[in-house]
Amino acid sequence: MDAQYAVDLTRDAIWMALIIASPILIAGTIVGLLIGLLQALTQIQEQTIAIVLKIIIMVIVAAYTMPWMTEIMVEHGIQIFDDIPRIMPSEEIWTGGT
């Protein structure tokens, strides 16, 4: 395995983590902004309201997007396993790369 493949694999893993986490993070951000606006308008400064509502919404979004997230992760795993013969020829596997 060459260094470029390792860099590409790391970049793809970070990109996939961002894509998978984005629905949950976006939902938490939107709820946080709406609650912050509501708290500013009503002058209620209770922090537990915002935290609890954000956690509930984020758990609901995670539950609804779990099949999509699982599908993406499985496809990525299959792609990585399919690339093994290309990046590591059979001679390297059996001889330890020498």
- Residue pLDDT, tens place only, 2-51: 788 888 888 988 999 999 999 999 999 999 999 989 988 888 888 888 89
40-63: average pLDDT: 90
Q: Look up the domain containing 46 and give its range.
A: 1-66
Q: How far is CA 46 from CA 30, 36, 38, 52, 79, in A?
A: 18, 10, 11, 11, 47
77 inside domain:
no
In a domain, residue 72? The reply is: no
Is the sign of the CA dihedral 45, 49, 53, 56 positive or negative? positive
Q: Is residue 28 part of a domain?
A: yes
Mean pLDDT for the stretch of residues 63-76: 94
**How many domains does the structure of the chain reveal?**
1
* In-domain check, residue 84: no
Of 15, 10, 57, give the one whose Cα is nearest residue 32: 57
| In-domain check, residue 1 | yes
pLDDT at 80 over 90: no
In a domain, 71, yes or no: no
